[in-house]
Amino acid sequence: MKVCIAEKPSVAKDIANSLGANQRKDGYYEGNGYQVTWTFGHLCTLKEPRDYVEEWKYWNLRHLPMVPSKFGVKVIDDEGIQRQFQIVKRLLINATEIINCGDAGQEGEVIQRWVFLKSGSKAPIKRLWISSLTEEAIKEGFENLKDGEKFNNLYAAGSARAIGDWLLGINATRLFTKKFALQRQVLSIGRVQTPTLAMIVNRQLEIENFKPQDYWELRTVYRDTEFNSVLGKIKKKEKAEYALSKIKDEPFEITSFEQKEGKEKPPRLFDLTALQVETNKKQGYSADKTLKLIQSLYEKKLVTYPRVDTTYLPDDVYPKIPGILKNLEYYKELTSPLLNTKLPKSKQVFNNKKVTDHHAIIPTGVKLSGVTPEEQKVYDTITKRFIAVFYPDCKVSNTTVLGEVLKLEFKATGKQILSPGWRVVYQKDKSKSKNKDENLMPVFEKGEKGPHEARLDQKQTSPPKPYTEATLLRAMETAGKHVEDEEARELMKDNGIGRPSTRANIIETLFRRRYIDRSGKSIVATHTGVDLIQVIDNETLKSPELTGDWERKLRLIEKGEYQPAQFKKELIELVVNLTNEVLFNTEQKAIRILGDEEKEKEKKPKKKRAKTVKVNITELTCPSCKKEGFLEGKKAYGCAHYKEGCKFVIPFEFMGKKLSNKQLSDLITKGKTTKIKGFKKLGSEEKIDGKLELTSDFNVTLNSN
């Protein structure tokens, strides 16, 4: 029996229908020689620290760095997942052939390979590799199944990514939490998360520390056209006023009038990041929301695979384009001019060398139905971009006019649309109904002169703008570098931080952990986020460029051009050096990481009080069994090794008196406390003073002598 395993029940159902496996069983479909089952996304995960070494379950600096000799995988501890895994395992063990139908990407490969690994199946593996879930695409994919071993590098890259995130995330999080945080507060550190937060914090600090400076710009209006002085920003008011006084009564002369026809190519097709940027700008959708909407459209067979980082199509898609355009009935008005002519095959659209796992996001041509209003907007964005790339270039006239007064040069530019070309697709959109770049200008003749109205505009320098989700996504794509040019961005994608499929989740994680917040469309760092970045001295953890270099190496692993073992070795060295740096740098000062509420409290005047010693009870050694670690219950601390027979318990309250952290610590470590006032006898309001002591059998008693 051939066993197909998909990533979701809905996808498994589509595959089963295409294969004729129509008998519904418990956890799978069967028929026509196939069994089609599914995971729920991840069924398996990397083992946790405590799965390698029992003591690693305790957060203790003495255990760092934690580097397993060999990384292992386990089934996630969830009843539903465990049950489905057992069904999948039974099918895989009895299979004659396994067909991996997981999402055709790095994460999808890892999800399925871990299941195969834990099942122990030895059956040969084939790979279904498709870019859409239409019945046609599924059938075509099964006719061209690939050898599973051809995707070993893809799995190696995904596995290296997961191990790298484990090594750095778990070790650095415990290291900084135990070294710098308040009790019970976790400081989350991540390979991609931390440099992303650093970009936001650094931008915010730039804005907060920015000191505006006045400057002046010299302008003049001649024949209802505004000209700007080539002096640009004039920093001294006296110099600006002097220039104005010299030219205001002198004639303005045109020295050059030039009109050039130019072309504007259609915008590129969408990859996931570009789509998230566009929907954030136009609809205000978060990156995470857009990802969920496009994933839903993909599962409804309306668009192709969304988690992509290319804006190109392969050559073999070109013959399918007319059919897709013809089926876009909702857009007939826009597609009809394209159906009766040979479609262009632009290198900006079709390029085999720029396509790896998948091509750009495009509509499949399946009839639009069953979508929400928000899904409709995302679909409309994708489909109009798809239609626009097959329209002619937009023809424009670019005008440049130069003039002068007393040899001081001025310049004015304008643009007129001569033939809209692809812009026709967007004419009905409110956002594009008026071209902001268009600036109609009169015709000037070289040598003409006349009066003009000169003026000074006083302005101030502006701080950099805070990140929005759109600009943050672009910054992650280019490892923090400001890049406007699309060609340059394409070249930098290999060095971006995170992958298109993970960036939305990284941003949402920062929101969830309250390191960042929203202010309108802007993203701002919270006090906690700022404090966390400022306490991290290690620049590697915060550097977008170095994190981008790790991403480049992961992509090279995927191509078979870099060894996973080398990547792992580099991260282990980083973790070891980081641990030593934080633990043994005597000059390093501990800084408390405070949340917003604590910050507000600190602003209020405080009464002077005696210093208290903060002790983490959970790390103390049990006086009974001599092993380290306590667990905190509702009414008492108990030895963490109770399963091994240790019964030692120490209550939070004794004889009506709540014990302080210091008193509990003294009782555990010294066997007695200093004198404590205010104990109450049972059934009496009489108060007595005394010391608490541990008896020989490790019970707590009061000594009132």
Lowest mean pLDDT among 249-263, 565-579, 611-625: 611-625
Q: Tokens 């809209």 map to which residue?
A: 420
| Domain identity same for 374 and 413 | no
Closest-CA residue to 303 (of 360, 359, 363, 358): 363
C-alpha–C-alpha distance, residues 153 and 562, integer Å? 10
Q: Is 611 part of any domain?
A: no
Write the CB contacts of 627 (distance below 8 Å, at least 6 apart in sequence): 621, 639, 640, 641, 646
Q: Are 421 and 393 in contact (CB under 8 A)?
A: yes
Q: Are 391 and 425 in contact (CB under 8 A)?
A: yes
CA distances from 337 to 284, 310, 343, 367, 696 (A): 32, 27, 10, 20, 94
| Domain identity same for 655 and 554 | no
**Phi/psi of residue 585, nearest 5 degrees:** -85, 100
Q: Is 382 part of any domain?
A: yes
| 403 pLDDT higher than 70 | yes
| Domain identity same for 203 and 253 | no
Q: Report the pLDDT value the prediction gives residue 193, as an integer from 0 to 100.
A: 93
Q: Is 661 part of any domain?
A: yes
| 431 pLDDT higher than 60 | no
pLDDT digits (tens, 9 = 90+) for 32-65: 999 999 998 889 999 999 999 999 999 999 999 9
Q: Is 603 part of any domain?
A: no
Q: Which of 353, 388, 423 is the last residue of a domain?
A: 388
CA distances from 543 to 456, 511, 554 (A): 43, 20, 17
Q: What letter does residue 203 receive in the DSSP assignment?
A: H
* Structure confidence at residue 483 as a pLDDT band (50, 70, 90): low
Asked whether the bond before 363 is cis by omega within 30 degrees of 0, the reply is no
* Structure confidence at residue 590 as a pLDDT band (50, 70, 90): very low
More confident residue, 673 or 608: 673
| Domain identity same for 372 and 301 | yes
Q: Is 610 part of any domain?
A: no
Q: Is 217 exposed, middle or buried (0-12, 13-18, 19+ CB in 10 A)?
A: middle
| 220 pLDDT higher than 80 | yes
Strands (E), 80-213: 97-101, 125-127, 146-147
| Domain identity same for 682 and 638 | yes
* Structure confidence at residue 12 as a pLDDT band (50, 70, 90): very high
* Structure confidence at residue 598 as a pLDDT band (50, 70, 90): low
Q: Is 150 part of any domain?
A: no
| Domain identity same for 197 and 283 | no
| Domain identity same for 400 and 380 | no
Q: How many domains does the chain have?
A: 5
C-alpha–C-alpha distance, residues 404 and 210, integer Å? 35
Looking at this protein, which amino acid is placed at residue 99? Answer: I
Half-sphere exposure of 634 toward its Cβ, with a 13 Å CA cutoff? 0
Q: Which of 112, 144, 176 is the last residue of a domain?
A: 144
Write out the catalytic residue numbers: 305
Residue 489 domain boundaries:
162-209+465-584
Q: Report the pLDDT value the prediction gives residue 688, as an integer from 0 to 100.
A: 84
Q: Report the pLDDT value the prediction gives residue 638, as an integer from 0 to 100.
A: 85
Q: Report the pLDDT value the prediction gives residue 444, as an integer from 0 to 100.
A: 94
Q: Report the pLDDT value the prediction gives residue 696, as an integer from 0 to 100.
A: 80
| 586 pLDDT higher than 80 | no
C-alpha–C-alpha distance, residues 14 and 673, integer Å? 69
pTM: 0.76
Q: Are 327 and 366 in contact (CB under 8 A)?
A: yes
| Domain identity same for 169 and 68 | no
| 337 pLDDT higher than 70 | yes
Q: Report the pLDDT value the prediction gives residue 277, as an integer from 0 to 100.
A: 94
C-alpha–C-alpha distance, residues 322 and 604, integer Å? 69
pLDDT digits (tens, 9 = 90+) for 386-399: 999 999 999 999 99
Q: Which of 411, 435, 460 is the last residue of a domain?
A: 460
C-alpha–C-alpha distance, residues 191 and 198, integer Å? 12
C-alpha–C-alpha distance, residues 289 and 272, integer Å? 12
| Domain identity same for 218 and 284 | no
Q: Is 12 part of any domain?
A: yes
Closest-CA residue to 192 (of 212, 221, 172): 172
| 406 pLDDT higher than 70 | yes
C-alpha–C-alpha distance, residues 86 and 226, integer Å? 75
| Domain identity same for 297 and 379 | yes
Q: Is 605 part of any domain?
A: no
Q: Report the pLDDT value the prediction gives residue 40, as an integer from 0 to 100.
A: 86
CA distances from 450 to 241, 254, 321, 447 (A): 22, 9, 57, 10
Domain containing 29 — which CATH number?
A: 3.40.50.140
| Domain identity same for 642 and 516 | no
User: Which tokens in the block code for residue 389?
Assistant: 């790339």
Lowest mean pLDDT among 83-87, 280-284, 286-290, 590-594: 590-594
Lowest mean pLDDT among 155-159, 178-182, 296-300: 178-182
| 520 pLDDT higher than 80 | yes
Domain containing 229 — which CATH number?
A: 2.70.20.10
Q: Report the pLDDT value the prediction gives residue 263, as an integer from 0 to 100.
A: 94
Task: State the chain's mean pLDDT as an integer.
Answer: 88
Crossing angle for the helix pair 469-477 and 272-282, nearest 10 degrees? 160
| Domain identity same for 472 and 438 | no
Domain containing 487 — which CATH number?
A: 1.10.460.10
